[in-house]
Structure 1
Amino acid sequence: MSRKLMVRVPPSEFQITPETKIQWACYEQGLTTHAVSTTLGNLKSSLDSQNASFDEHLILLSGRLVSHQYKQVSKAQIKHLDKALPFLMEDELTEEVSCFHFASAVPTEPLRSSVESGTYKNTGSSSSSPSPTSQYLAVSAIKHTDMKALLRYLDDQALSPDQVLAEAEIPIAHGSSINVLLDKDSALLSVSGEAGLSMDAAAVGFALAHLQNSQPELSKLPVILQYDPGQANDEYQANLLQKTIQNLGWMVETTPLPGSVLNYLSEQFSNTVITGFCNLRTGQYCDHSKKSTSGKWVKGFMAAAACWLLLEIGLMTGNGLLFSSRAQQYWHQSAALYLEAFPKDQLIHNAVKRNPGSVDIQNRLKSRLNNTRADAKTASFLQWLSIISQQAQGAGLISPNSLSFNRQSQTLSMDFKANSLAQVEQFQVALKSKGFHGKLENAHQEPGGVIAQLTVGELP
């Protein structure tokens, strides 16, 4: 279980300075140490003198410094709470709302039930139950000057509070009773486990008289009056207040606290079931240096992922540079080999000098080879044509009608007219003597002679 440092600024203090009197105690495993009194400016030295260390720091402020109210708000106001909140508290404050810092929370059980049923009257509005489009909201307000001063003096001592709360939020009554917690000239008034009302001790009688008139059914509840016997005159003040309350017709039970008011509030705070406290250490006064464990885990993971990503990018960039360098090297080697075969290719010469890698050597070589084959085939066709023409003339009256040369099969198809079929056979023999074979594909007799189709190719 965590060790909590509970620091209280009592109602006797009206402003925050290094000389402001405070009390501190340690709460751990259901036990609170004896309260130590010191000043705000000497808090760190007081803690060091006790060799005290803590996991959480919590500050409790009295009603002298923090105003705490309950307000009925609409769903529309909830959506724009940051802007609506100051105007909700405007009637409760004695100065301009711009001078205050606000914190809010939705009250949790059992406080919500008592507020909505109309038992709790510190709403600053009508005590009727909220409509289906509204709800109750707990609101705390503190002057910016006080909040800044508090955090500044703590920061000067390397202390940073996790929560800054109004002590009036802490329920000090349990069950069916009205509880009055006396602290010198101030008091906290609470009804049936609700949050307390902070007021002067002299105003308790007037508050109970008003409660009798507005909610007479509460007059049957007993009043529990508690005080700190360790403080001078508190017992005397408690006896005077007891008589005042009894004269109003209330049953009063006066009991001393087993420890200080801070000890009592610390135990009540740690044992309460209410979680909807208004932490003033929020908004512009949030401590961004303190991060949750989950946040640290996520940020650690993100940092590791970022390092991995940077490493991966670095490796990819390095590989890219390496491959680029090798590609340039291989291109120059390919270009040198290509120019050995085709030394007059000016395109490759220009690429080597001005823009290496701009020409695809492989495609260039394929193009060159295809052109070379085409030139060779063209030369063989012309050679064939010369030989076949000579043999056609030697065979007599042979008149070619059409010629078709197939480069892939290296054959020549020719349609011609001869005087007779014997003349066609004579032409085949003449071709064979020159190293060609002539395959007769078709031949038919016509009145003027023979029309024949011959396929000519080189002999194997």
Structure 2
Amino acid sequence: MFYRLYVRPVPPFADLINEPENQIFNWVLVDASGDAQAQGTTDTREHIEQTLAQNALDHVRLIGLIPGEEVLFCFADIPAKQARFVRQALPFAVEEQLAQDISTMHLALGNREDKGFRVAAIDHQRMGLWSELFTDWFHARLEAIYPDASLLPVSEHDWAICLDGDSALLSNQRGEWLKMQVGNLMMFADTLAMPPDDEVVTQVRVAAYGTREDLHAQAPVLKNLQSSGRLAVSLQTLELMPLELLVHAHHHHLCSPINLCQGTYALSGDGNSTLRAWRPAIAVACLWFLLQVGVEAGMGIYYNQQADELRNQAMAMYRQVFPNDRQTHAGNVRRVLEGQLRLAQQQGPNADFLALMKQAGHQYSILPGKESVEFNTVNYSRSRGQLVVDLRADSFARLSALRNGISGSGLNAEIGSVVNESSGARGRLTISGG
């Protein structure tokens, strides 16, 4: 004999991200015939799990009921019949009916009606939290998650209303559901009084469920609905709590709720699924993958070591030719050599005054914001092969950019005697042939 456990979170809701264990529930445990075997109100998950353990119940099917106001109902008019094509077209079919970005919504597909497919839409983040809340219970396995209002029985009426404290759950023959404050029912009376499509009726049948306390507390509102003249309201008294009504309707197929556990939140099968036959092959494939990753990683380390060795050899050869160059490293040695060769081709083995001025002038001409750079004095030492320029700029960054540009052309460039002033910075730029 199998058992179903219906659990419904009780507001105010706990912090489902950081403290889900503090959430309390109303719950009902029913057997295969639909008879309640145990129930409780405002109990924790731990208490419910202990009850299942004490009664030696295992593999109980868990049904989670979440607040109906968090799940939106809409229709999707999709001509396709194959499930794969329907799901591909679903986001485009309901996008205009939802105020939220469709990419942030989880869409669950229901039965097909005259107006199209029934669809339930909920925020992805909220659905993730509810799914996690109902998953991995001891002695119970999640079977479905439904909006609570979608489980109201409407088989014999056009509308069903269930009073739940200050709130009211509503559902109709088309399977639409919603939740509102009881005080707003009168504003919704005109919508309730609209007959089903293509039907002419004098009155719309409405079943109002509630405990004696709720029916008595909301008597003025119900009386106003009854006196509207267009609604035939029948009062149905519940012995305990609204959850029992929802459980009864679901077990006896008096409603057509949409299971939200689809797509990303679809539930995995049990141990007898066809996946079990493929487990050995999957294990071999995983082992081969790990071995391949290990081989690739080892080859990567080997080639990296070879590259390091080649770079060290290249730098050793460069140091033999240019022993006094301490600025060049393995990362820029190619660029420096190309610059030096290019300069040597243009000017010969030694860079004279004109060559240095040409390169410095070229770098100045392409310098961003060059208008803020001023040349005060220019001195050239033939014996040292150096060009010394006193500069002033609006910032040291501008001087540094000029130096880097000259260095990138294959010359040696250094800035010294830097003085930062309120109007900018001045310094001495020394350029040599490298």
- TM-score computed with the length of structure 2 as normaliser: 0.54
For residue 141 of structure 1, give the secondary structure of its aligned residue in structure 2.
strand
Find the counterpart in structure 2 of residue 263 from structure 1: 244
Out of 98, 104, 121, the position equivalent to 2:109 is 104
Find the counterpart in structure 2 of residue 57 from structure 1: 62
Could you tell me how far 1:283 is from its partner in structure 2?
Answer: 1.5
RMSD over aligned Cα atoms: 3.5
Work out whether 1:220 is the aligned partner of 2:225: no
Work out whether 1:9 is the aligned partner of 2:9: yes
Find the counterpart in structure 2 of residue 22 from structure 1: 25
Deviations 1:117-170 (A, max 9, x none): xxxxxxxxxxxxx5xxxxx11111222222222233444655641211122332
Could you tell me how far 1:16 is from its partner in structure 2?
Answer: 4.1
1:299/1:144 CA distance change after superposition, 3 Å:
same
Question: Do 1:24 and 1:35's aligned partners in 2 also have CA atoms closer than 8 Å?
Answer: yes
For residue 252 of structure 1, give the secondary structure of its aligned residue in structure 2.
strand
Could you tell me how far 1:183 is from its partner in structure 2?
Answer: 1.1
Question: Do 1:174 and 1:193's aligned partners in 2 also have CA atoms closer than 8 Å?
Answer: no
CA distance in structure 1 between the aligned counterparts of 2:37 and 2:70, rounded to whole angstroms = 25
Counterpart amino acid of residue 238 in structure 1:
Q
Out of 225, 242, 262, the position equivalent to 1:282 is 262
Out of 71, 82, 91, the position equivalent to 2:87 is 82
Counterpart amino acid of residue 264 in structure 2:
Q
Whichever of the two has the greater Rg, that structure is 1
Question: Do 1:44 and 1:157's aligned partners in 2 also have CA atoms closer than 8 Å?
Answer: no
CA distance in structure 1 between the aligned counterparts of 2:87 and 2:200, rounded to whole angstroms = 38
For residue 48 of structure 2, give the secondary structure of its aligned residue in structure 1.
helix
For residue 244 of structure 1, give the secondary structure of its aligned residue in structure 2.
helix
Could you tell me how far 1:245 is from its partner in structure 2?
Answer: 0.1
1:139/1:246 CA distance change after superposition, 3 Å:
same
1:44/1:20 CA distance change after superposition, 3 Å:
closer
Work out whether 1:141 is the aligned partner of 2:121: yes
CA distance in structure 2 between the aligned counterparts of 1:283 and 1:185, rounded to whole angstroms = 34
Find the counterpart in structure 1 of residue 36 from structure 2: 32
Deviations 1:317-364 (A, max 9, x none): xxxxxxxxxxxxxxxxxxxxxxxxxxxxxxxxxxxxxxxxxxxxxxxx
For residue 245 of structure 2, give the secondary structure of its aligned residue in structure 1.
helix
1:11/1:82 CA distance change after superposition, 3 Å:
farther
Count of equivalent residues? 272
1:197/1:292 CA distance change after superposition, 3 Å:
farther
Could you tell me how far 1:48 is from its partner in structure 2?
Answer: 0.6
For residue 64 of structure 1, give the secondary structure of its aligned residue in structure 2.
helix
Could you tell me how far 1:171 is from its partner in structure 2?
Answer: 4.3
For residue 151 of structure 1, give the secondary structure of its aligned residue in structure 2.
helix
Could you tell me how far 1:209 is from its partner in structure 2?
Answer: 1.3
Question: Do 1:57 and 1:160's aligned partners in 2 also have CA atoms closer than 8 Å?
Answer: yes
Question: Do 2:28 and 2:243's aligned partners in 1 also have CA atoms closer than 8 Å?
Answer: yes
Question: Do 2:24 and 2:45's aligned partners in 1 also have CA atoms closer than 8 Å?
Answer: no
For residue 185 of structure 2, give the secondary structure of its aligned residue in structure 1.
helix
Deviations 1:241-261 (A, max 9, x none): 212202311333223113311
Counterpart amino acid of residue 234 in structure 1:
D
Could you tell me how far 1:266 is from its partner in structure 2?
Answer: 0.7
Counterpart amino acid of residue 247 in structure 1:
S
Question: Do 2:163 and 2:182's aligned partners in 1 also have CA atoms closer than 8 Å?
Answer: yes
Q: Structure 2 unaligned segments of length 5 or more: list them.
A: 283-434
1:60/1:139 CA distance change after superposition, 3 Å:
same
For residue 270 of structure 2, give the secondary structure of its aligned residue in structure 1.
coil
For residues 372-383 of structure 1, what are the structure 2 equivalents within 5 Å? none
Out of 270, 276, 287, the position equivalent to 1:299 is 276
For residue 8 of structure 1, give the secondary structure of its aligned residue in structure 2.
strand
Find the counterpart in structure 1 of residue 45 from structure 2: 43
Q: Structure 1 unaligned segments of length 5 or more: list them.
A: 117-129, 131-135, 307-460
CA distance in structure 2 between the aligned counterparts of 1:211 and 1:198, rounded to whole angstroms = 14
For residue 189 of structure 2, give the secondary structure of its aligned residue in structure 1.
helix
Could you tell me how far 1:5 is from its partner in structure 2?
Answer: 0.9
Find the counterpart in structure 2 of residue 409 from structure 1: none
Deviations 1:180-208 (A, max 9, x none): 11112222333458554433323332333
Question: Do 2:192 and 2:204's aligned partners in 1 also have CA atoms closer than 8 Å?
Answer: no
Find the counterpart in structure 2 of residue 207 from structure 1: 188
